Structure 1
Amino acid sequence: MSTEHPPTIDPVAAARWHAAAPAQSPWLHEEVARRMDDRLQWIRQAPAAWCHWDAVRGGLQGHALVSARYPQALCQVTETSPHCLPVAMQALTRPWWSPARWSAGRPRFGLPEDGSVQMLWANMALHMASDPQALIAQWHRALAVDGYLMFSCLGPDTVKELHAVYAALGWPPAGQSFTDMHDWGDMLVHAGFAEPVMDMERIRLTFATPQRLLQELAELGCNLHPQRFPALRGRHWRSRLHEVLQDKLGDPEHDGQLALTFEIIYGHAYKPKPRVRVSASSAVSLQDMRAMLREGGDRS
């Protein structure tokens, strides 16, 4: 499989967004986190330690749901955007006088050590990554053998109505194309995960005004397409956009409110025991060697 950047994501723009994204949890991210938490009821083995990847953008309310589900598990919070770290620490660190501060559930902050967690939770982050294969590989390294990944992201049908409006007017793309869930499954296998389970649902949101719609989209992300409009837009274009959105996206079933579709992809996969390929010369990492030795000891 190719390890090149996705063809519709500008890596410079993606890095700029990651460094300046609002340090808050968008409503949609929290709703998706709630739905992803529901899926944890089907997993029988509770993790001894879990990692919340980019908790502030992924959903602080969602963090509370997972923490309540696994109150005895150690929690590692990883914020890859420096400006989000103080927000996470303020929101998730309990006061010094709280007895809960000394419980197993108090969070630690920073990158997880290799093989240190049994679950990695990454909500609504993957679709904005310029090199998703590298990010998935990083998650794989953080997980212990038999640990599992829980993630969600946007799918290809997201804001398809907005893309249609831009295309009809001959404007440059309204945003990058999102990856299909089957391709995410292939990337998981390529990174070393096993038995990926992917599913998808569509959420239809309505907005009272074009201004509110654009505000919501700005909180969720930005246009990372390499062929997006390269300069600043003027007021007349903005007014024209408001008129077009009001005309084209009004939904009669919702009293004329503007409607947009969001395709949500959910993914789950686990990290299997390492396999050594037999050849004239084989290299095995120290982490994999320890895992294989433990497996041999368990059998004996």
Structure 2
Amino acid sequence: MSSSSRAERPPTLDPVACSRWAVWPHVQSPWLHEEIGRRMEDRLQWIRLQPKSWVDWAPVSGGLQTHAKLRARYAQAHCCVVETSDARELLARQALQASWWKRWLKPDTLTFGESLAGSADMVWANMALHTSDDPQALLQKWHRSLAVDGFLMFSCLGPDTLRELSQVYQNEGWSPATHAFTDMHDWGDMLVEAGFAEPVMDMERMTLTYADADALLGECRMMGRNLHADRFHGLRGRQWFARLKTALLALAKTDQDGRLTLTVEVIYGHALKPLPRLKVKNHSTVSLQDMKTLLGQSLSP
């Protein structure tokens, strides 16, 4: 790996923790991911292009119910599900694949595994980017999956996420509660660097409320993990856990309803894959795939 590639990686993310979370088996998709997926799916009404083929990236974490909504919207389109591990792919197959006799009666438009390079009209990636220790490489992978004029739809968490929990950890003098989340403007720059065009970024803040600390912490465990490289690496004791809950309850007193609150900043992104550009200097190098694409465009009526 080059030094420039290492420099582009998020400095607070622990690659080992990221890889472990990427294969963590979900019993079901987190409800927050489903809600964000529902909101992102609603935005597709403004997209004119009707995909004939599309990629659903990591739907076990991103939202199995959201996947069903997308299949209903693009009922005739072929979908390739790409998961982050064999175990998660098995979970996706069990949840999404029709029974063998239904597939025998009518060929299924759903496949699993690596998508064919340059063939998809849409890549759908809900709540995956902020847990990648090499997001630039992931963006480039999505770019390679798309056909020219295909588009990427993604969502991820932004910098204000869990700011209340982070404040509690800071007040107590503990190591960070979560890794740093990337700003939407930086994602826009990274999309352009990965080869995308016309990135459109949007953001909204959601406020989640909880009756008690146990409910809040239980939901945090389902939604994700602390992937910060400087997080506490040992096991916490009962006294620490009681201290955490006391600190959270003290924070709840500032809320007029006496409930615990958490802020979630959600970033939505949309970008196109443009026709490759030739950079002509004293000499130039063009990939075979890009040359075929350029020739195909020039010969089309």
Q: TM-score, normalised by structure 1?
A: 0.95
Whether the aligned pair in 2 keeps the contact of 1:147 and 1:271 (CA below 8 Å) is yes
Structure 2 match to 1:12 = 16
- Greater alpha carbon shift after TM alignment, 43-52 vs 220-229: 220-229
Whether the aligned pair in 1 keeps the contact of 2:76 and 2:109 (CA below 8 Å) is no
Task: Name stretches of at least 5 consecutive residues in structure 1 with no aligned partner.
Answer: none
Q: State the distance in 1 between where 2:279 and 2:34 align.
A: 42
Deviation at 1:294, TM superposition (A): 1.1
Whether the aligned pair in 1 keeps the contact of 2:41 and 2:66 (CA below 8 Å) is yes
Deviation at 1:97, TM superposition (A): 2.9
Q: Which letter does structure 1 place at the counterpart of 2:113?
A: G
Structure 2 match to 1:270 = 272
Whether the aligned pair in 1 keeps the contact of 2:54 and 2:121 (CA below 8 Å) is yes
Q: State the distance in 1 between where 2:4 and 2:252 align.
A: 37
Trace 1:288-299 onto structure 2 (pairs within 5 A). 288-298=290-300
Whether the aligned pair in 2 keeps the contact of 1:195 and 1:269 (CA below 8 Å) is yes
Q: State the distance in 2 between where 1:92 and 1:251 align.
A: 44
Whether the aligned pair in 2 keeps the contact of 1:181 and 1:199 (CA below 8 Å) is yes
Structure 1 match to 2:211 = 208
Deviation at 1:215, TM superposition (A): 1.1
Deviation at 1:141, TM superposition (A): 0.3
Secondary structure (helix, strand or coil) at the match of 2:100 reads coil
- Cα-to-partner distance string for 1:139-191 (whole Å, 9 max, x where unaligned): 00000000000000000000101111111111111110100000000000000
Trace 1:119-198 onto structure 2 (pairs within 5 A). 119-198=122-201
Structure 1 match to 2:237 = 234
Q: State the distance in 1 between where 2:116 and 2:103 align.
A: 27
Secondary structure (helix, strand or coil) at the match of 1:276 reads coil
Deviation at 1:23, TM superposition (A): 4.6
Deviation at 1:192, TM superposition (A): 0.3
Q: Which letter does structure 1 place at the counterpart of 2:285?
A: A
Structure 2 match to 1:283 = 285
Secondary structure (helix, strand or coil) at the match of 1:228 reads coil
Q: Which letter does structure 1 place at the counterpart of 2:147?
A: A
Q: Is structure 2 residue 70 aligned with structure 1 residue 66?
A: yes
Structure 2 match to 1:245 = 248
Whether the aligned pair in 1 keeps the contact of 2:55 and 2:122 (CA below 8 Å) is yes
Q: Give the alignment partner of residue 114 of structure 1, picking from 108, 117, 128.
A: 117
Q: Which letter does structure 2 place at the counterpart of 1:265?
A: I
Q: State the distance in 2 between where 1:248 and 1:100 align.
A: 57
- Cα-to-partner distance string for 1:71-96 (whole Å, 9 max, x where unaligned): 01000000112221111001111113
Question: Structure 1's 100 and 194: CA in aligned 2 closer, same or farther, altered over 3 A?
Answer: farther
Q: State the distance in 1 between where 2:62 and 2:281 align.
A: 43
Q: State the distance in 2 between where 1:295 and 1:99 align.
A: 36
Q: State the distance in 1 between where 2:276 and 2:105 align.
A: 36
Secondary structure (helix, strand or coil) at the match of 2:265 reads strand
Q: State the distance in 1 between where 2:109 and 2:209 align.
A: 38
Secondary structure (helix, strand or coil) at the match of 1:120 reads strand
Q: Give the alignment partner of residue 50 of structure 2, picking from 28, 46, 51.
A: 46
Q: Give the alignment partner of residue 98 of structure 1, picking from 98, 102, 107.
A: 102
Task: Name stretches of at least 5 consecutive residues in structure 2 with no aligned partner.
Answer: none
Q: State the distance in 2 between where 1:193 and 1:281 align.
A: 24
Deviation at 1:17, TM superposition (A): 1.6
Q: Which letter does structure 2 place at the counterpart of 1:160?
A: R
Deviation at 1:37, TM superposition (A): 0.3
Q: TM-score, normalised by structure 2?
A: 0.95
Q: Tell me how many residue pairs correspond in the alignment.
A: 297
Secondary structure (helix, strand or coil) at the match of 2:226 reads coil
Whether the aligned pair in 2 keeps the contact of 1:49 and 1:73 (CA below 8 Å) is yes
Q: State the distance in 2 between where 1:64 and 1:123 align.
A: 14
| Aligned-pair identity (%) | 56
Supply the RMSD in Å over aligned alpha carbons.
Answer: 1.7
